[in-house]
Amino acid sequence: MRKLLLGTTALAAAVTLSTNAALADVSIAGSYEFKYASRSSQNASLDGTTMSHGDTDMVITFSNKTDSGLDLSFRYDIGAVASDGAALTGDEQSLSISGGFGKIVLGTDDDASDSYGIDEMDLIAEEPTSSHTSASIGQNSGIGSSDAMKVAYHLPAMGGLTTGISFADSGAAGGSDKTAYGFKYGMDAAGASITLGYRATSTEAATKDTDESNMGLKIVSGDISMILSSGKFEAVDEDRDNSGASISYKMPNGMTIGAYTFKSEDDLDAGEEYTRSGAEVQYTIASGLTAVINVDDYDYKVDATTHEGTPVADSGTITQLTLKASF
């Protein structure tokens, strides 16, 4: 009798679990990128060819709707492999709760401001491998985003306006808490779609807080898109001004061509300046498979005697082929 009771209880629990699981929608998506780059550089250690992984991951999403009308979603993003081929563990895990009040996101996910920035590389499918790894200066007008544990809140859309804010707690000791916020406003004018975006972050530090900001304007008219953007970075011995622009055109044959330019200067390090410009061609080989070719020309100027670190001046060109697959 006891075995029968235990078996019946286990069966009821299994049925309940199965019923609850059936209420949730589960989706799995993956992507893989293979990159081959040829680089000509004044720095002998950077000159030559390389092969690497690009953005490669798998995302599992569970979603459900409560009896009260709330939309729940759990997102688990697994970075499958790093650029050096080493395996990665889950790098983003978050729960989102959405309703008439907006959306709350809890866990390790991007800064809230990441949803509102616009920079010149947004029209470029594959940014070439970092043009200068030792350069302590901006290489695009966007700003960084961390996957630290945080709470984020996004207000419901109000006309063409969307906005959000997040806070990341660095722990009991504190000292590097991060606040991030941003907004976007979209409108139609003269047959074109116009979007203005702004985002900013502030990370606490013992000597001087690290503050970043980005503002961009995107105009889409038919198959032509254009972006103008600027950014600011302030930290200990850093005061960088960034500006960029890009344009892209979707051709009737399925190809997309794009071009961009960028410049960064550090007012606190005399003579430090970084410029880059490039062009790109995207071609859809088949559904879910795309080839991208980039040519990126860069020039980094720096006077080591006026810089707090030991960066090396360099100029060169990177030609890169990327094969992208999505599943």
Statement: residue 79 has pLDDT above 60: yes
Q: Is the pLDDT assigned to residue 3 strictly greater than 60?
A: no
- Region 257-282 average pLDDT: 93
Q: Dig out the tokens for 275 from the structure.
A: 């410029």
Q: Is the pLDDT of residue 135 over 80?
A: no
Binned at pLDDT 50, 70 and 90, residue 311 comes out as confident
- Other residues' Cβ atoms within 10 Å of the Cβ of residue 287: 7
Q: What pLDDT is stored for residue 70 in this prediction? A: 96
Q: Report the pLDDT value the prediction gives residue 174, as an integer from 0 to 100.
A: 75
- 25-326 sits in which CATH class? mainly beta
pLDDT, position 133: 54
| pLDDT digit string, tens, across residues 213-235 | 999 999 999 999 999 999 999 99
Mean pLDDT for 249-258 is 93
Question: Which helix (DSSP H) or strand (DSSP E) does residue 6 occupy?
Answer: helix 2-23
pLDDT at 180: 97
Q: Does the pLDDT of residue 303 top 70, yes or no?
A: yes
Strand runs (DSSP E) across the chain, as ranges?
Answer: 25-41, 48-53, 57-65, 71-79, 90-99, 102-108, 149-154, 161-168, 178-189, 192-203, 210-221, 224-235, 238-250, 255-266, 273-286, 289-301, 314-326
* pLDDT tens digits for range 191-205: 999 999 999 999 999
